Structure 1
Amino acid sequence: MNIDAILVPQGAEYKSVCRGLSRVNGSKPPIFPIPVGVKPIIKYLEEWQKAGYLFNHQQPRVLLMGLCGSLTSRYSVGDIVVYRSCVYGSDEKLPEKMCDRTFTDEISNNLKEKAFLVRGLTTDRLIYSASEKRNLGVIYDAEVVDMEGFAALNVLNKAGFAVAILRVISDDSQHDLPDINSAISADGSLQSLPLAIGMLRQPIAATRLIKGSLRGLKVLEKTTTNLLQM
């Protein structure tokens, strides 16, 4: 599998992909920890381009990996999804961004586990309400939600990169999550104290979030190994 770089949200997701990659023999693509959120990742990728990463390649292939949330009862925690495309959830009507078809097909075909082909939705905040997630799924005709996909596609497609997105579902559309939006700082990092406070305020939802994240991270780690061994 020819991949020139992997982008993964910083923190637990990044560490999970690194662990999966450590089990792969031979050459491995570099992994870059990206910030969480639309504005932080746009800034990061613009600086990434200015630094000249991968511009010695004719059409660099960049894989965005991480966790995501389900917007429909069809997909549940632990499911692997590969994006066909991504839309942005805002009042501004921006056109859908497409993933590279050839790159995407390669990833789907090479995965040992079954991966679902989906349309992703990117939002500028964590969607913690189950009812809101289901509503957004209907409004945008999307199956999963994240906070980086659309922005990454928008920036990198313009620069001539071939982009694919592979994620693992860590929360379903049937249960609420704790509201931890206050823990996401302006630079796209997670602040531990507001995160802890948000989790303590909703202990049942917090327990569900932790369990779902741990399961999703295990699948993400295994999927990284299986994909890159091809």
Structure 2
Amino acid sequence: MHILLVEDDDRLAAALTAALDRLGHQVVRAGRADDALRLKDGADFVLLDLGLPDMDGLEALRRLRRASAVPVIVLTARSEERDVLRGLRGGADDYLVKPFRTAELVARMDAVVRRGTRPLAGSGTVVAVGGVRIDLAARQLEVDGRPVALTRREFDVLALLAREPGVVRSREEILDAVWGDLLLSASRSLDVHIAGIRSKTGCPWLVETLRGTGYRLGTGGCS
């Protein structure tokens, strides 16, 4: 994997680069946010420190997310729950507090990759319902033949529901599968993403809410 390591601490960057190199990864290191944003397109994975000299890492994360869906793990000394939630809400796939073991980082990277490439259930990779066509393998969405662009996490939520139409997914199950962190269960992050799916597709029925139970793929039709 091509990994972009965004870290201004020379000693930590050198140690991580050596460890990841030994595992067969190719690491490019950026010590500043502006360099990271310039190098993002060549990365398969981003490891992002928040304490950067030219820009707060959370702002760098927001800018990165506006341009790319590349997986991101935040690496930081900020351990308060509000910082963790801000990182996850800002688009990070996981959040690891320093100091950490390299083995744990690698395990978390593997988990993020698995969440993005898990086998698809059902007989095919295309789900069609009410004028909506969801291509799970290509990560493409069409409504009445018109392509609709979702964010990475919006598509992940929709894909989770579409893999097994009719199956109700609890709020906690979705947060665990897509965000990988149940700390978000009391937040409105999932609500915001579901609202985005409904708004962008023009199909409010597409994600059906079952109060007190969870969510499932709807069966209506867009008008």
Q: Please, what TM-score do these two structures have when normalized by structure 1? A: 0.30
If asked which structure has higher relative contact order (CA below 8 Å, sep 6+), I would say 1
Kindly name which structure, 1 or 2, has the bigger radius of gyration based on alpha carbons. 2
